[in-house]
């Protein structure tokens, strides 16, 4: 156990150390990037050790039960590691281009790396913590540290997006805290158990008697609060601005991980509320309806998007809505929700990487200005088309599979009207995305132009890695991942 606690301390503290190194101490740009690579390698290896240990041995506790890792946290940790490491590697080439073009200087790069590396351990705190108030502290800290990553390029629009993000998400997370307070107040316990009152494992196992009305009110606050951070409508208004104005690696970590981390926080409270309301499915219905609402809102906005990154941001709202719908269905839907989390994170990451390169090449993200895409940027252009196709839900990629699983769950629960709403929303979005993809593909105005860019090695590797894994995932989950997700489903469904 002591060895594990030492490893846990290293995994939390070393990014801060590297952040300070990259920010101030290391002057040379190449060494800054080298430090970034060393840090993510350490974190990746340590994180994998924890995930494999949890998958094989079961949940384990650290630091007097304030920190623990079970299958649900381990699965989200896997998503975090994948997205963060890919985004860090991508950011090296992204910022090299910007440094050469003079958009950012060495000081700005140091600021980015310092904030980027510091945001990793606070995201880890949310995943590892057993203490529900510590989850709140981690979410608030994530909001604050990532705020200045949005306005890295100082434009008026990015400053506006940053302010919206800070205010809306801070108020939202404050609401979540009211919910946590009300939840803890609803326990009818004696003084003896006060020490463990905030521990999630204690709440789900030992505490039996709740004041049901308090629990219901607290869950509404928690859903609205963490739903703000997740991008569930109608609290989603900060999302398109923040994701479109941030630089590409930051958008990737936002869409790829932070949104699903907020859904993770909500899903931590589902078994508690379910147990308190006698498994009546009250909270699941709430999540289902708010997910459908987000899906409908996204359907209204996606066809009218002219900016590529904003389009991807609304697609994130759509996919988080789909994940919430699947969570709210329960049963097999929980499995589909977690599977969809993984697929969405990977494909959205690829999408934002490509959008970032397009921004650098064409000077703006307007879809109308993308001209001669496959000739001008052969590697990332293909990546963009792959990501847009995969996000739409085209077979045989993994997002098609997870959407199919959700439809199967709808059918098995005989919710026909809701299934019709779900299908029509998904179809409208499909048609809108196809139209945009065709617009991009068929815009070849200047046939005779010759471009110097050849397909480079690393982009092809990243694109094939992501697209290939999404293809393979649709045929079947690898056995360790399957076990992890199944155990995570059992945690959310409360062993029912």
Of 228 and 405, the one with the shorter C-beta distance to other proteins is 228
Instruction: Give the residue with the Cβ less far from other proteins, 136 or 254.
Output: 136
Which CB, 90 or 269, lies closer to other proteins? 269
- Which residue, 242 or 323, has its beta carbon nearer to other proteins? 242
Q: Which of residues 306-345 bind other proteins (CB under 8 A)?
A: 310
Between 229 and 248, how does the x/- string for binding to other proteins read (CB under 8 A)?
A: -----------xx--xx---
- Provide the minimum distance between the beta carbon of 371 and other proteins in the complex, in angstroms, as a whole number: 23
Distance of CA 487 to the CA centre of its chain: 20
Q: State which residue, 170 or 453, has the beta carbon closest to other proteins.
A: 170
CB 248 → other proteins: shortest distance, Å?
A: 18
| Number of chain residues interacting with other proteins (CB under 8 A) | 46
Token pair in block for residue 64: 């007097």
Q: C-beta of 181: minimal distance to other proteins in Å?
A: 5
Q: How far is the CB of 178 from other proteins (least distance, A)?
A: 6
- From the list 2-10, 172-180, 386-394, 480-488, the region that binds other proteins by CB under 8 A is 172-180
Q: Rg of the Cα trace of the chain?
A: 22
Q: Which of 9, 105, 157, 206 binds other proteins (CB under 8 A)?
A: 157
Buried b (16+ CB within 10 A) or exposed e, 324-345: bbbbbbbebbbbbbbbbbbbbb
Residues 183-202 interacting with other proteins (rule: CB under 8 A): 184-185, 194-195, 197-198
Distance, CA of 299 to CA of 428 (rounded, Å): 7
Q: Which of 45, 48, 167, 395 binds other proteins (CB under 8 A)?
A: 167
- Contact (Cβ atoms closer than 8 angstroms) between residue 278 and residue 125: no
Nearer to other proteins (CB atom), residue 9 or residue 412: 9
Name the minimum Å distance from CB 147 to other proteins: 6
Q: Which single residue is written with the structure tokens 């600021």?
A: 111
Q: CB 173 → other proteins: shortest distance, Å?
A: 9
Closer CB to other proteins, residue 129 or residue 409? 129
Contacts of 256 (CB under 8 A, 6+ apart): 79, 83, 87, 344, 345, 346, 348, 349, 352
Tokens of residue 483, six digits: 């076990």
Please, which residue, 141 or 463, has the CB nearer to other proteins? 141
Whose Cβ is closer to other proteins: residue 154's or residue 452's? 154
Pick the binder of other proteins from 34, 174, 441, 471 (CB under 8 A): 174
Q: Which residues contact 120 (CB under 8 A, 6 or more apart)?
A: 15, 43, 84
Residue 104 contacts residue 152 (beta carbons within 8 Å): yes
Residue whose CB is less far from other proteins, 157 or 412: 157
Cα–Cα distance, 54 to 7 (Å, whole number): 14
| Stretch of 3-11, 88-96, 175-183, 388-396 lying at the interface with other proteins (CB under 8 A) | 175-183
Query: What binding mask, one character per residue, do residues 112-151 give for other proteins by CB under 8 A, x or -?
Result: -------------------x-xx-xx--xx--x--xx--x
Binds other proteins (CB under 8 A): choice among 60, 85, 92, 160: 160
The number of beta carbons lying within 10 Å of the beta carbon of residue 162 is 22
Stretch that binds other proteins, among 20-28, 152-160, 280-288, 395-403 (CB under 8 A): 152-160
Exactly one of 23, 67, 75, 177 binds other proteins (CB under 8 A); which one? Answer: 177
Site track 245-284 with other proteins (rule: CB under 8 A), x = hit: x---------------------------------------
Give residues in contact with other proteins (CB under 8 A).
131, 133-134, 136-137, 140-141, 144, 147-148, 151, 154-157, 159-164, 166-167, 170-171, 174, 177-178, 181-182, 184-185, 194-195, 197-198, 211, 214, 240-241, 244-245, 301, 304-305, 310
């Amino acid at each position: 156990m002591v060895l594990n606690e030492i490893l846990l301390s290293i995994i939390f503290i070393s990014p801060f150390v590297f952040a300070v190194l990259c920010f101030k101490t290391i002057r040379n740009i190449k060494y800054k990037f080298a430090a970034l690579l060393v840090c993510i390698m350490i974190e990746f290896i340590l994180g994998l050790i924890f995930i494999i240990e949890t998958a094989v041995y079961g949940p384990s506790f650290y630091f007097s039960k304030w920190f623990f890792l079970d299958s649900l946290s381990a699965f989200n940790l896997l998503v975090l590691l994948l997205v963060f490491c890919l985004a860090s590697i991508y950011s090296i080439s992204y910022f090299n281009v910007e440094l050469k073009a003079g958009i950012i200087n060495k000081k700005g790069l140091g600021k980015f790396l310092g904030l980027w590396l510091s945001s990793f351990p606070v995201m880890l705190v949310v995943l590892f913590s057993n203490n529900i108030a510590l989850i709140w502290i981690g979410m608030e800290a994530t909001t604050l540290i990532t705020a200045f990553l949005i306005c890295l390029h100082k434009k008026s629009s990015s400053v506006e997006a940053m302010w919206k993000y800070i205010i809306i998400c801070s108020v939202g997370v404050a609401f979540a805290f009211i919910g946590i307070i009300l939840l803890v107040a609803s326990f009818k316990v004696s003084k003896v158990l006060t020490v463990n009152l905030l521990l999630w494992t204690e709440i789900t196992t030992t505490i039996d008697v709740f004041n049901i009305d308090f629990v219901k009110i607290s869950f509404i606050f928690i859903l609205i609060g963490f739903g703000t951070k997740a991008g569930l409508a109608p609290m989603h208004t900060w999302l398109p601005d923040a994701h479109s104005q941030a630089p590409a690696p930051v958008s990737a970590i936002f869409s790829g991980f932070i949104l699903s981390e907020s859904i993770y926080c909500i899903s931590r409270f589902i078994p508690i509320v379910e147990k308190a309301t006698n498994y009546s499915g009250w909270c699941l219905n709430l999540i289902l309806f708010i997910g459908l609402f987000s899906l409908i809102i996204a359907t209204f906005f996606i066809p009218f998007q002219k900016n590529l990154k904003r389009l991807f941001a609304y697609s994130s709202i759509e996919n988080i809505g789909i994940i919430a719908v699947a969570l709210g269905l329960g049963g097999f839907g929980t499995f589909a929700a977690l599977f969809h989390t993984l697929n969405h994170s990977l494909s959205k990451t690829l999408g934002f990487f490509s959008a970032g390169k397009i921004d650098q090449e064409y000077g703006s993200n307007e879809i109308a200005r993308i001209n001669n895409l496959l000739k001008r940027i052969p590697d990332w252009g293909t990546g963009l088309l792959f990501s847009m196709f995969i996000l739409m839900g085209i077979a045989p990629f993994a997002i098609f599979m997870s959407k199919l699983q959700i439809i199967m769950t709808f059918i098995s629960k005989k919710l026909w009207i809701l299934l019709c709403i779900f299908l029509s929303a998904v179809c409208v979005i499909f048609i809108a995305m196809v139209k945009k993809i065709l617009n991009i593909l068929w815009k070849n105005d200047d046939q005779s132009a010759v471009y110097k860019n050849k397909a480079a090695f690393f982009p092809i590797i990243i694109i094939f890695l992501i697209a290939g894994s999404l293809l393979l995932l649709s045929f079947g989950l690898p056995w360790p991942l399957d076990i992890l997700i199944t155990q995570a489903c059992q945690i959310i469904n409360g062993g029912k």
